[in-house]
Amino acid sequence: MHPYLFVHKAVTRCAIAVAALAVTTTAIGAESTTITPPALSDRIVAVVNDAPVTLFELNQRATVLARENKTTVTPAFKSQVLELLISQRAQVQRAQQEGIVIAERDVDAAEATVARNNRLSIEALHEAVVREGLSVKTFRQQLADQLTLQRMRERLLAGVERPSQAEIDAYLDEQQALTNEKAPEQVQLAQLFIPVAENAAASDLAAVDAQKQAIDAALKRGEAFETLAKAQSKSPEAAQGGDMGVRAVADYPTLFVEATQGLAVGAMSPWVRSGAGFHLLKVLARPVAKVTMTSTQTRARHILLTVGPDLSQEQAIERLNGFRAQIVSGSRDFGAIAKANSQDGSAAYGGDLGWVAPGIFVPEFEGPMNQLNPGEVSEPVVSRFGVHLIQVLERKRVPLGEEAQNEAISEILKARQADEAFAKWSEDARLRAYVDIRDLGAE
């Protein structure tokens, strides 16, 4: 069994927190206009308690947000961005006053995550940051601020009580109502069909009437609709007892829909006439799409090299880069290399880790794995267990069992409450802060 398969959920939530930093990286690596510090760029445009907000900081953030939102930087837009910066500065200060501390190693880890998500080295990430008009120091401070607020939210989340089963059921009912509202109405009908031409002679119509009456009498005696349909119906579905299957209401002939509208399941319509003949219709079901939560499972394999006195991290990376080149070129098979070289129990199976649900692997392994398309091979990935080469084989969506679904809904409801608590906390932090907004003036 693999040691990284058993990680406490708190670690997984930490990975999610770091994933939130992706918002900082959307422009990194993309073509963009470098922001050159303008004259008077260090002019203070606002003071939040004792922390200044500079004109350059405002211009830089406004430029990035305008690009992300596909808009232009106007005075009104810049005022909104200034208020955003003031609020964030007040929130960070309040969180620090309440004991939230971000260590340098936390910022290092966040920076490494941003680099990995953009498939860059730390050095290349720093170069991209500078091209964006930021100093590396400012970039790292932004990461620290985001981590500070994320830790504050996690603290609020930890104080949220687990929802009751009644609240979980109410959430499911809410989602079911939304599904019913959006999903097309469905119905399952069966028919017993007696063909007759539109211009049939009176004698033919009399024979059909006699057949209809005989069928009605048989139904009254308790004979099954399905049995009569198999014996007497001339429709293509006769062998299935007349069952026409589950369809959207709109996919049935209007005549059938009107004849069965309002009928309960198991009820039958009167005989109805179409251009082809007479139809007796029975409502077999009115299915409703049941809300079922799903989870994406991944089947991956890896090659693990452990780091120690005989193999440094740099040497492991170099060796795995060599393996990757052979795999990508097609000269060697991933599974064969794993069997011969991987220092993990999965080596006997070609590195195959089997099907795994989210949150099982440690974040530094799962993050890069989740970015891979099936068949793709990662660059060397460093984790607490060594250095890995990862290949995703397959992905699939699977329905959650009742217990897992309840747990997932519980986390959703707790997150909702945490979001509400964080919003109130943020508003209070802004209201309590001393803010001196200076005139933006000429730039």
CATH of the domain at 97: 1.10.4030.10
Question: Residue 425 and residue 363: Cα distance in Å, rounded?
Answer: 29
Q: Show Cβ contacts of residue 104 under 8 Å, excluding neighbours closer than 6 positions.
A: none
Are residues 264 and 385 part of one domain? no
Question: Per the domain annotation, does 307 fall within a domain?
Answer: yes
Backbone φ and ψ for 228, nearest 5 degrees, come out as -65, -40
Number of C-alpha atoms within 13 angstroms, CB side, residue 400?
16
Cβ proximity of 304 and 348 under 8 Å: no
Predicted pLDDT of residue 441:
60
Are residues 232 and 209 part of one domain? yes
Are residues 75 and 8 part of one domain? yes
Of 242, 267, 285, which residue sits at a domain end?
Answer: 285
Predicted pLDDT of residue 440:
66
Q: Where are the alpha helices (DSSP H) in 102-183?
A: 104-117, 122-131, 136-158, 165-182
Predicted pLDDT of residue 183:
66
Q: Which domain holds residue 50?
A: 3-161+417-437
Give the strand pairing for 277-285 and 186-195. Answer: antiparallel
Are residues 323 and 265 part of one domain? no
Averaged in consecutive runs of 10 residues, what is the pLDDT profile of the chain (443 residues)? 30 30 39 44 85 88 87 91 93 95 92 82 91 86 93 92 92 81 82 90 90 94 94 93 91 93 93 93 86 87 94 93 95 96 94 91 90 93 92 92 88 92 94 87 55
Cβ proximity of 128 and 30 under 8 Å: no
Domain count, the chain: 3
Predicted pLDDT of residue 443:
53
Predicted pLDDT of residue 109:
87
Backbone φ and ψ for 441, nearest 5 degrees, come out as 60, -160
Are residues 11 and 151 part of one domain? yes
Predicted pLDDT of residue 37:
46
Q: What is the CATH number of the domain that holds 207?
A: 3.10.50.40
CA-angle at 82, arms to 80 and 86, nearest 5°: 120
Are residues 207 and 124 part of one domain? no
Question: Residue 196 and residue 277: Cα distance in Å, rounded?
Answer: 4
- Rounded to a whole number of angstroms, the CA Rg of the chain reads 33
Which of 162, 130, 177 lies closest to 34, judged by CA? 130
